Each structure stands twice: as C-alpha cells, then as structure tokens.
C-alpha cells in the first residue's frame, strides 16, 4: 500500500519531531513555517535547537528527500499531502490565557487550501489548545474558508503530544499512549490507521474520544505533573524545618508505592520550560472563564513562583549581605539536555541576585548563547564549570546537567574563595559534601 503523505505546520519541538518521526519511517513529509531562518537550517539537516538524537535523522531524512521545509506555503503543504498536522505555537497572553492567533491564521490558510482540493484531507490539531478550541474555533474557520462541511468535506482530529524536551524525539517515536479526539468516526479512523501503519504491531494504547476530551487530557496530564512537583517542593520546604529530615528519601519511599510512582517527585527550584508554566496558567484562566476557580492549580502555580527564590534566601543565610559577593551559577537551561531558557528558574534567581548587588558568573553546557540575549552584560559567562567557580563566594546549582553530577567536593573547594555550595536540584550526596565544604540543599533538615 502506498504510504500516506503528511504535512506539518510549525517546526518547534512538536512539529519538527513529528515531521522527522514520520519521514524517518519512509513517509513523505512537507513542513511549512513562517521562519525562513529555521527553514534554511532544517533543509540543511541542522536542528534549529539543541535536542539529542535529532540531528542524525534530520540529516538523513532531508538528504533522502523525504523531508522538505517550505516557507509560508501552507497551500502547497495541504494540496500535496493527505493529512496536515497543525503544530504552530500557542503562547500565553499577559493575563496567562492562551493566545490562539497562530492557530487561527494557520487554520484560515488550511481552509483556503482545502477549498482548492478535490480529495479527502484530514486536519489534525497537534498544538496544545484549551478545550473547545478545535470544535468552536478551528472547525468554523475551516468550514467557512473551504466552503465544505466538516466530516463529509474534510476530516478533523485533535491529537495532543506528550513529548519532553531533551528526549523529544524518543518520546515521539515511543509514546506511552495515543490520544485521538475526533470530530467524526471517519476522521478518527483515518488518523488511527496512519498510526497503525507507523507503529505496526507496537502501537501504544490508543484512546479515541471527543475533540474537547482530547484537548483536556493534555492539560490534565501536564497539570498533574506540575502538581507532583509543587507537592514535593512543599514537602521539601517542610523537611527543612525538621532536623534530620530529607525530602529525597521521603520521595524515594513514596515513589515505591505503586499508586504514587517515582517520577516527577524530584524536589528542586520548581518547574520551568515552555509547557508546564504556560499550560497551568492557561487552564486556570480557561476554567475561570467557565465560572470554576481551579484553586488547586492556583496553589501549584504560586508555590512554583516562590520556589526558585529560596536559592537566593539560602545564599543570604550562608553569606549574609550579598552586595559585591561573587555567585557562581551552574546551569541556565530550564532542565538538562536542552538550550531552552523559557521560564528557566535561573532567570528569577539571577535577577534577584543582581538586585541584591551580587556579581554573577554563569555556566551552562549549551544555553549560554540564549542567556546572553536575556542578561546581556549584566552577568559574566564562563566557558566551563571550573572557570565559573573561580574565586566565587558561593555556588548555586540550578540545572541538573550530567556533567555537574560528576563534580567532587574538591572541584569546588580548590578554586572557590569560600567553599559554599547550594544544591538546588538534589544531585549531590549531602554527607560527602557537607564533610568537605559548607553545603546546603533543597529539602534537607538541619
């Protein structure tokens, strides 16, 4: 059977991993973006962001002609393929609610293209959108512009993704579940059969449901993960008031309970990134509009806002006044294995340190170029962890990169002015480190 052809709009993490994923299994994929610079990189086989395991397959799929990225050519993308995944960005408005402008403009373009098409085409919303968006915004625009009826004239699905940056490609290829929200059975059948062909015998559990249930599944999943993090951070803060208590052991023991599970119970400086902060805020705003206050998620969000500033508080407890003190920051990215600094915990921490008059030097294996666009020359940038620690009065570990996990107490003590370390991600053994230096960590009772 001839493989179906696929178009993908938007080439952020979701769009690009979807495009490369299908192309790597032999599907012809056309991507389209408004960003000419990104398109040029992709067509040379270079990922526009740091993401492990993506480069090689991107290069291969571009070289063998299975993936082609166009600039602003939604019409061609739709006319020349059987299904379109819409993966454009859905940022936040200043009040936290979702900004659907990119979804609206891209849907308008898809609709116009569908008007010129004589064969059945399925439109799949892959972007994270609040419940009701596909039914109440996407469908009417598509019907108006295509002058066709949804269901008979074209298909419509909502198919959220659950990929994590840093393992985005792996997650795309080996997802725990597929969620298909469908306007009608024909649309859902078309998408499920694409996934059956893609995964073969190894197809993950597939949930078929309504468009809005699919939309909510994404928000509910991210909100629960964010809740686990704020929950364990609350326990960490409590542990600090209980002599001898250690949140890491609390979390390990809790995680052995099958009903709880071990993941997303790492206490630290809170969650950042392009999803959790945005999605939790968007769901709070959406629910408020529906007349229901999400008090639980309001608490999750407010705990996450104050958590990073604890690092600065620790600094002040250990050093006193921070004016003129050299603080070394290890890790700038919002988590390891990415250069993404969106909502990175390093941002409020560094801003607060600067406000207190500290001199900040930072190092990150990959995020320094992005950090320079944020902090410019307000801080110094080091080219290695060792260089960052030189003459520092205090070191703050902010991101859990593997290369930092390998550091020993001596790596800190030999070049710092004062051997003071604050472990914001619980990667160091408190016993070993506190024997050799002034050491404190999130969630450790004294």
Q: Which of residues 335-364 bind ligand UDX (CB under 6 A)?
A: 335
Rounded distance between C-alpha atoms, residue 307 and residue 304, angstroms? 5
Rounded distance between C-alpha atoms, residue 117 and residue 112, angstroms? 9
Q: Does 225 bind ligand UDX (CB under 6 A)?
A: yes
Return the number of the residue (67 or 341) whose C-beta is nearest ligand UDX. Answer: 341
Q: Which of 49, 85, 162, 314 binds ligand UDX (CB under 6 A)?
A: 162
Stretch that binds ligand UDX, among 34-42, 209-217, 263-271, 292-300 (CB under 6 A): 263-271
Return the number of the residue (154 or 231) whose C-beta is nearest ligand UDX. Answer: 231
Please name which of 51, 9, 2 lies closest in space to residue 172, comparing C-alpha atoms: 51
Residue nearest to ligand UDX (CB): 275
Name the one residue in this structure whose structure tokens are 């725990």. 176
Q: Rounded to the nearest whole angstrom, what is the least distance from the CB of residue 270 to ligand UDX in the complex?
A: 6
> What's the half-sphere exposure (Cβ side, CA atoms, 13 Å) at 5?
17
Stated as kind and residue range, the H or E segment containing 400 is none
Q: Does 229 bind ligand UDX (CB under 6 A)?
A: yes
How would you write 136-165 as a 3-class SS string?
HHHHHHHHHHHCCCECCCEEEEECCCCCCC
Q: Which of residues 358-417 bind ligand UDX (CB under 6 A)?
A: none
Return the number of the residue (15 or 155) whose C-beta is nearest ligand UDX. Answer: 15
Q: Which of residues 22-81 bind ligand UDX (CB under 6 A)?
A: none
**DSSP string computed for 317-383:** HHHS--TT-EEEEE--SSSTT----TT-THHHHHHHHHHTT-EEEEE-TTTHHHHHHHHGGGSEE-S
Q: Rounded to the nearest whole angstrom, what is the least distance from the CB of residue 186 to ligand UDX in the complex?
A: 28
Written as six digits, the tokens of 180 are: 């298909």
Q: Does 87 bind ligand UDX (CB under 6 A)?
A: no
Stretch that binds ligand UDX, among 61-69, 139-147, 163-171, 209-217 (CB under 6 A): 163-171
Rounded distance between C-alpha atoms, residue 262 and residue 213, angstroms? 27
Strand 178-182 versus strand 155-158 pairing type = antiparallel
Q: Which of 164, 208, 288, 316 binds ligand UDX (CB under 6 A)?
A: 164
Written as six digits, the tokens of 172 are: 């795309």
Return the number of the residue (155 or 424) whose C-beta is nearest ligand UDX. Answer: 424
Q: How long, in residues, is the chain?
A: 446
Please name which of 25, 26, 29, 36 lies closest in space to residue 15, comparing C-alpha atoms: 29
Written as six digits, the tokens of 207 are: 């949930």
Return the number of the residue (125 or 225) whose C-beta is nearest ligand UDX. Answer: 225
Q: Are 31 and 70 in contact (CB under 8 A)?
A: yes
Return the number of the residue (155 or 268) whose C-beta is nearest ligand UDX. Answer: 268
| 395 tagged catalytic | no
Q: Is 422 helix (H, G, I), strand (E, B) or coil?
A: strand
Stretch that binds ligand UDX, among 54-62, 129-137, 207-215, 222-230 (CB under 6 A): 222-230
The active-site residue, picked from 17, 69, 275, 315, is: 275
Q: Which of residues 264-303 bind ligand UDX (CB under 6 A)?
A: 264-266, 268, 271-273, 275-276
* Radius of gyration, alpha carbons of the chain: 24
Stretch that binds ligand UDX, among 19-27, 162-170, 294-302, 438-446 (CB under 6 A): 162-170
Indicate if the alpha-carbon torsion angle 143, 147, 152, 157 is positive or negative. Answer: negative
Q: Does 223 bind ligand UDX (CB under 6 A)?
A: no
Q: Rounded to the nearest whole angstrom, what is the least distance from the CB of residue 300 to ligand UDX in the complex?
A: 12
Query: How big is the site for ligand UDX, counted in residues (CB under 6 A)?
Result: 19
Return all residues near 347 (Cβ < 8 A) that are at least 6 apart.
341, 374
Q: Rounded to the nearest whole angstrom, what is the least distance from the CB of residue 307 to ligand UDX in the complex?
A: 9
Name the one residue in this structure whose structure tokens are 């990225």. 69
Q: Which of 22, 231, 334, 381 binds ligand UDX (CB under 6 A)?
A: 334
Return the number of the residue (112 or 335) whose C-beta is nearest ligand UDX. Answer: 335
Question: Residues with catalytic annotation?
Answer: 275
Residues that bind ligand UDX (CB under 6 A): 161-165, 222, 225, 229, 264-266, 268, 271-273, 275-276, 334-335
């Amino acid at each position: 059977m001839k493989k179906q052809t696929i178009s993908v709009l938007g080439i952020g993490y979701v769009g690009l991993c979807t495009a490369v994923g299908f192309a790597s299994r032999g599907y012809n994929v056309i991507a389209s973006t408004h960003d000419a610079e990104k398109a040029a990189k992709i067509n040379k086989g270079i990922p526009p962001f740091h993401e492990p395991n993506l480069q090689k397959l991107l290069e291969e799929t571009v070289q063998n002609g299975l993936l082609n990225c166009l600039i602003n050519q939604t019409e061609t993308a739709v006319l020349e393929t059987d299904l379109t995944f819409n993966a454009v960005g859905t940022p936040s408005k200043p009040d936290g609610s979702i900004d659907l402008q990119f979804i609206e403009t891209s849907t308008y373009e898809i609709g116009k293209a569908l008007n010129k098409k004589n064969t059945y085409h399925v439109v799949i919303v892959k972007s994270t959108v609040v419940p009701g968006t596909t039914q109440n915004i996407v469908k009417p625009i598509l019907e108006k512009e295509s002058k066709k009826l949804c269901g008979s004239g074209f298909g419509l699905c909502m198919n959220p993704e659950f990929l994590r940056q840093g393992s985005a490609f792996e997650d795309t290829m080996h997802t725990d579940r597929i969620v298909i929200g469908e306007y009608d059975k024909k649309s859902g059948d078309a998408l499920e059969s694409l996934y059956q062909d893609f995964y073969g015998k190894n197809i993950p559990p597939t949930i078929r449901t309504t468009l809005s249930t699919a939309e909510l599944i994404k928000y509910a999943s991210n909100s629960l993960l964010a809740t686990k993090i704020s929950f364990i951070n609350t326990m960490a803060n409590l542990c600090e008031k209980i002599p001898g208590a250690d949140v890491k052991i609390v979390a390990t023991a809790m995680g052995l309970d099958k009903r709880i599970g071990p993941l997303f119970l790492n206490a630290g400086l809170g969650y950042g990134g392009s999803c959790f902060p945005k999605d939790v805020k968007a769901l709070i705003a959406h629910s408020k509009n529906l007349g229901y206050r999400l008090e639980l998620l309001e608490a999750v969000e407010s705990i996450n806002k104050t958590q990073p500033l604890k690092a600065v508080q620790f600094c002040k407890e250990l050093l006193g006044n921070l004016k003129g003190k050299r603080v070394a920051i290890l890790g700038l990215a919002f988590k390891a294995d990415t250069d993404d600094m969106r909502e990175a915990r390093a941002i409020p921490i560094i801003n607060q340190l600067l406000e207190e008059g500290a001199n900040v030097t930072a190092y990150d294996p990959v995020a320094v170029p992005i950090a320079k666009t944020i902090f410019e020359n307000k801080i110094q940038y080091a080219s290695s962890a060792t260089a960052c620690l030189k003459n520092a009065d205090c070191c703050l570990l902010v991101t859990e990169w593997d290369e930092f996990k390998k550091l020993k107490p001596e790596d800190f003590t030999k070049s710092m002015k004062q051997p003071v370390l604050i472990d914001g991600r619980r990667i160091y053994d408190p016993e070993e480190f506190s024997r050799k230096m002034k050491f404190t960590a999130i969630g450790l009772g004294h």
